[in-house]
Amino acid sequence: MEPVYVTGHRNPDTDSVVSAIAYASLRNALGDRHYVPAVLGEINDQTAAVLQRFDFPVPERLFTVKTQVRDLEYDVPPILSAAVSAGHAWSTFMAEDPISIPVTDEDGKLFGMLSRGDIAEYIMETLDGEGPRQIPLFNFLNMLDGTLLKDSGREEISFSRVMITVNNRENSGENFENAIVICGEQPEILEQAARQKAACIILIRSTAEAEALAQLADVCVISTPLDAYQASRAVYRSIPVSRICKTEGIVAFHLDDYLDAVKEQTLQTRYRSYPILDGEERVVGTLSRYHLLNPRRKKVVLVDHNETAQSVPGLFQADILEIIDHHRLGDVQTRSPITVRNEPVGSTATIIAGMYQEKGIVPSPKMAGLLASAILSDTVLFKSPTCTETDIRVAKRLERISGVSLKEIGEEMFAVGIDVNADAKTLLYSDFKEFHLGGHALGIGQITCLDSASILARADEFLACMQKESADKQYDMMLLMVSDVLKNGSELLVTGDTKIISQAYGAAVVNNRVFLPGVLSRKKQIVPALSLLWG
């Protein structure tokens, strides 16, 4: 079943990860589709602790939703071994009517590509040519529907020509050396062919007497129910496709290849059909240019964000089915009307918990504990100005279902220490979002902790890192909020025009730093204030 990915924003926090898990679980419980929670980056220590506390696995990592070869309705034609005969391959073309057939080695890996024209061209060249040829004995027996009367001890029949002698009644003086001789009940011809070391003797409508005589011959002898003409055709139909198929200059694609690159390659090469390989280089199908016209797009549900810069790469190639968020409306565009649920609450998990109630589904105790953790995380233990009475009411209901007190959950969650020894860039991007306000690019990171002293001791290191990242990514301003739950405020580290911060908050920025009491929300207190000045 085609998956629907439920994903939060890049640099995922607890609310975005939990919301993805909870909403996917809700939709799967309703039997709608195969919903899969996903994350766009490494989860932070707090989120990891919460998932472990309530026994949930980390969702799979989603790197992009760009259309890939695996999203196309590609063909799955017959796939032949390099050892099969040209006759079998031709019958497959007639029965299945593929454009071309992939040929594989014994491990299922690509050996070559075969078309009808390849078979016809090879057989015509063989009919007109001179010199030695080889056909596998097993292939030949199969094409003749034959019985091996005398085995020469060799697995291949090497021959220079095919001679039909069914109308000859006696020794004709022909030289049968290295020839495939097709004869009937003709003892003299059979003896002559055996004496002259024919490559193989084929008996047409053989009798017991002819078969007894064949046992005395020192060459390969095969009886067949076919007539002479059919038997002669069987010789050339026995050639293995490994000698016919094209093995050089083949352009192959992998399931994970992106549609943009595939289109460019097909325009340059313009073959009728291209083999498709999996991650182990095994053939899984074939691709033609018409498959590129109407690709099947990946389907996604966005939770806890609705801005392209914060979302999964390649979003423009995906079909967005829903958006569930508690932030301002951003720039995400869709191809058709969709369901958007955007509520002014402190956590997306609050909205999703409400949806469980609306659908008449009581979350499991583990899921309730997980949702309560996300609400506590995003509302900073109900201290954030984004927190509403709805958040508190829903969290208390989840507390009753989970059987774990909110106080206990909050203490465990915020007791997870920040790794102060991690490099500055890792900490900066542990909870980071990008915004575009009035033509300005803004990046805001946030570190929430119980004791900010150890983080702020590295302020100069963070500012140096922010200067470099701001230049590399062409941000007009970069901020790092070091939010202290106990102090109920945030130390703001600033790169860019510090006057904007002073105007927004009426506080002087000294050495690129300023403490903002009561400021804990990036969404409700930082972005709106800057929007007024930059909007």
- Rounded Cα gap, residues 454 and 421, in angstroms: 10
Position 417 scores a pLDDT of 61
Q: How would DSSP label each residue in 337-385?
A: --EEEE--SS-HHHHHHHHHHHTT-PPPHHHHHHHHHHHHHHTTTTTST
In this structure, are 354 and 432 located in the same domain? no
- Are the C-beta atoms of residues 349 and 22 closer than 8 Å to each other? yes
Question: Please, where are the H alpha helices in 405-519?
Answer: 406-415, 424-428, 453-456, 459-473, 498-505
Here the tokens at position 318 are: 């995906």
- Rounded Cα gap, residues 167 and 119, in angstroms: 31
CATH number at residue 309: 3.90.1640.10
When divided into structural domains, the chain yields a total of: 2
CATH number at residue 514: 3.10.310.20
Residue 356, in any domain of the structure: yes
pLDDT tens column, 498-519 = 999 999 888 999 999 999 999 9
Q: Rounded to a whole number, what is the largest CA-CA distance in the chain? A: 119
Alpha-carbon distances, residue 103 vs 175, 202, 238, 265 (angstroms): 38, 30, 16, 21
In this structure, are 321 and 396 located in the same domain? yes
* Domain end among 415, 449, 466: 415
Could you give the 3-state DSSP secondary structure of residue 521? coil
In this structure, are 309 and 410 located in the same domain? yes
Position 252 scores a pLDDT of 96
Q: Is 189 exposed, middle or buried (0-12, 13-18, 19+ CB in 10 A)?
A: buried
Position 167 scores a pLDDT of 74
Alpha-carbon distances, residue 239 vs 107, 145, 229, 233, 493 (angstroms): 21, 15, 17, 11, 75
Q: Which amino acid is at 434?
A: E
In this structure, are 391 and 434 located in the same domain? no
Residue 335, in any domain of the structure: yes
In this structure, are 392 and 445 located in the same domain? no
- Mean pLDDT of the 147-174 span: 82
* Domain end among 380, 415, 450: 415
Residue 288, in any domain of the structure: no
Better-scored residue on pLDDT, 183 or 371: 371
pLDDT of residue 274 exceeding 90:
yes
pTM: 0.69
Which residue shows structure tokens 């570190």?
A: 447
In this structure, are 23 and 44 located in the same domain? yes
pLDDT tens column, 321-362 = 999 999 988 889 898 999 999 999 999 999 999 999 999 999
